[in-house]
């Protein structure tokens, strides 16, 4: 593709990048950073392409090390982000369970204080 075409893509991507995260709550800053981190692991595609056309031991070695590092970045990034978000999702269920539990607690509190300490974890 010619340079102007690439520049067009570049400029439009900047705007999209700013736009999609302009209104994000502080709660999600850490997962968002981690998710963006996983996305730049797509350098793996570049690493594969360059390794696939390499000639000579030096180029091949550099390329393969790059493939290992890029895979670690991409796979690790998505997995760790998912682990973080899994907890946010679990929290929704926990909240429901908790509201039931606390209703039960309120009823039981006067009768037996201290009995509802082991709320069921969802």
Partner 1 sequence: MSTATQVAYLFTALCFILALKGLSSPKHARNGNLIGALGATVAVVVTVSQRHLGHRVPIIIAIVAGAIIAVPAARMVKMTAIPQMVAMFNGVGGGAAMLVALDEFLRLHRVDSSAAAIAVAFTAIVGSVSFTGSLITFGKLQELMTGRPILVPGARFVTPLVGLGAVGCGIAAVATASGKTGGVTFLVICTVLALGLGVLFVLPVGGADVPVVISLLNAFTGLTVAASGYVLDNTLLIVAGTLVGASGTMLTLLMARAMGRSITGVLFGAFSGSSTAGSTAEVVSSDRAVKSAGADDIAILLAYARKVAIVPGYGLAVAQAQHTIRELVDLLESRGVEVFYAIHPVAGRMPGHMNVLLAEANVPYEQLKEMDDANPEFSSTDVAVVVGANDVVNPAARDSVGSPIYGMPILNVDEATNVVFMKRSMRPGFAGIDNALLYHPKTTLFFGDAKDSLSKLVAAVKAI
CB of 86 to partner 1, least distance (A): 7
CB 19 → partner 1: shortest distance, Å?
9
**What is the closest distance, in whole angstroms, from the C-beta atom of residue 61 to partner 1 in the complex?**
9
Residue 48, judged by CB atoms within 10 A of its CB (0-12, 13-18, 19+), counts as middle
Torsion angle, alpha carbons of 11, 12, 17, 23, to 10: 120
């Amino acid at each position: 593709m010619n340079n102007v075409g690439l520049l067009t893509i570049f400029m439009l991507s900047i705007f999209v990048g700013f736009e999609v995260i302009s209104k994000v709550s502080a709660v999600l800053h850490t997962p968002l950073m981690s998710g963006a981190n996983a996305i730049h692991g797509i350098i793996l595609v570049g690493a594969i392409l360059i390794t696939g056309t390499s000639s000579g031991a030096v180029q091949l070695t550099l390329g393969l090390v790059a493939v290992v590092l890029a895979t670690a970045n991409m796979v690790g990034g998505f997995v760790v982000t998912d682990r973080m978000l899994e907890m946010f999702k679990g929290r929704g269920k926990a909240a429901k369970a908790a509201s039931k539990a606390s209703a039960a607690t309120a009823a039981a509190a006067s009768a037996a204080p201290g009995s509802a300490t082991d709320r069921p974890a969802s």
